[in-house]
Amino acid sequence: MTLPNARPFLLMPLPSLPFAFNDVSEVPDFCWAQSFLGFTSHSLKLQPPICNTNDSAKSLRKVGEFAVQSKDFRAIVNAKLPLSDEGAGLWTIVLNGERIVKVSPQSDFVRPESENVWDAKGCPVLPGFIDAHMHPISMGLKQLRLDLSQVHSLRELLQIVQNASSLAPRPSSRFLIGYDWDESLFVDEKRYPNRWDLDKVATDVPVALRRIDGHLWVVNTKALQLLNLPSNHPFVFKTSGQPNGLLADDAIRYLEPFIEPTLSEKREALRIASQIALEHGVTAMADLYADLEVYESAVANGDLTVRFICCIPPATAQQLKEPLQWRIGKERCEAKFVKLFLDGSIGARTAALREPYADAPDETGRLLLRDRVAEGLMLELSEMGWRLAVHAIGDLAIDQAIEAFRFVRMEGRRFLRHRLEHLEFLRPEHIGWLSKLNLVASMQPNFVVRWQQPNGLYEARLGWERAKRMNPFNSVIKAGIPLAFGSDGMPFGPLEGIVGALNHPEPNERLNLKQALLAYTQGAAFACNVESQVGTIAPGKLADLVVLSHLPHEEAFGNEWQSVKVIAVFVGGKLEFGQQKN
Going from N- to C-terminal start, the domains of the chain cover 11-43+141-259, 44-127+541-582, 342-511
Determine contact, residues 482/449, Cβ cutoff 8 Å: no
Task: Tell me what pLDDT residue 107 has.
Answer: 67
Determine contact, residues 547/84, Cβ cutoff 8 Å: no
Residues of the chain scoring pLDDT < 50: 1-66, 68
The CA distance from 295 to 309, in Å, is 11
Task: Tell me what pLDDT residue 412 has.
Answer: 87
Task: Tell me what pLDDT residue 116 has.
Answer: 84
CATH topology for the 11-43+141-259 domain: Diaminopimelate Epimerase; Chain A, domain 1 (3.10.310)
Check residue 150 and report its DSSP letter: T
Within 13 Å and on the Cβ side, how many CA atoms surround 71?
18
CATH label, 44-127+541-582, candidates 3.10.20.30, 2.30.40.10, 3.40.50.300, 2.60.40.1840? 2.30.40.10
Q: What is the pLDDT of residues 321-333, one digit of tens each?
A: 666 655 555 667 8
The CA distance from 95 to 118, in Å, is 11
What one-letter code names the amino acid at 84?
A: S
What DSSP string describes 362-418?
T-----SS-HHHHHHHHHHHHHTT-EEEEEE-SHHHHHHHHHHHHHHHHHSS-----
The answer for residues whose C-beta is within 8 angstroms of residue 400's C-beta and 6 or more apart is 342, 352, 367, 369, 371, 374, 392
Residues in the chain: 582
Please give the CATH architecture assigned to the domain spanning 342-511: Alpha-Beta Barrel (3.20)
> Do the two domains 11-43+141-259 and 44-127+541-582 of this chain adopt the same fold?
no
The CA distance from 267 to 527, in Å, is 26
Task: Tell me what pLDDT residue 482 has.
Answer: 98
The CA distance from 313 to 119, in Å, is 43
Specify the pTM. 0.84
Determine contact, residues 204/219, Cβ cutoff 8 Å: no
Q: What is the pLDDT of residues 503-527, one digit of tens each?
A: 999 999 999 999 999 999 999 999 9
Task: Tell me what pLDDT residue 182 has.
Answer: 92
The CA distance from 258 to 205, in Å, is 13
Determine contact, residues 135/489, Cβ cutoff 8 Å: yes
Task: Tell me what pLDDT residue 15 has.
Answer: 30
For residues 167, 173, 179, 184, the Cα torsion angle rounded to the nearest 10 degrees is 90
Task: Tell me what pLDDT residue 340 has.
Answer: 96
Radius of gyration over every alpha carbon of the chain, rounded to an integer in angstroms: 24
The CA distance from 6 to 371, in Å, is 39
The CA distance from 528 to 486, in Å, is 11
Task: Tell me what pLDDT residue 55 has.
Answer: 36
H helix runs in 441-531, sequence order: 446-451, 457-462, 464-467, 473-478, 494-502, 513-519, 522-527
Determine contact, residues 521/129, Cβ cutoff 8 Å: yes
Beta bridge partner(s), residue 130: 284
Task: Tell me what pLDDT residue 222 has.
Answer: 93
The answer for residues whose C-beta is within 8 angstroms of residue 341's C-beta and 6 or more apart is 249, 368, 369, 391
Task: Tell me what pLDDT residue 36 has.
Answer: 22
Crossing angle between the packed helical segments 263-279 and 292-300, to the nearest 10 degrees:
70
Within 13 Å and on the Cβ side, how many CA atoms surround 290?
28
Question: What phi and psi, each to the nearest 5 degrees, are found at residue 383?
Answer: -65, -25
Maximum Cα–Cα distance for the chain, whole Å?
A: 77
Determine contact, residues 560/50, Cβ cutoff 8 Å: no
Of the candidates 182, 270, 187, which has an alpha carbon nearest to the alpha carbon of residue 446? 182
The CA distance from 255 to 260, in Å, is 9
Task: Tell me what pLDDT residue 23 has.
Answer: 39
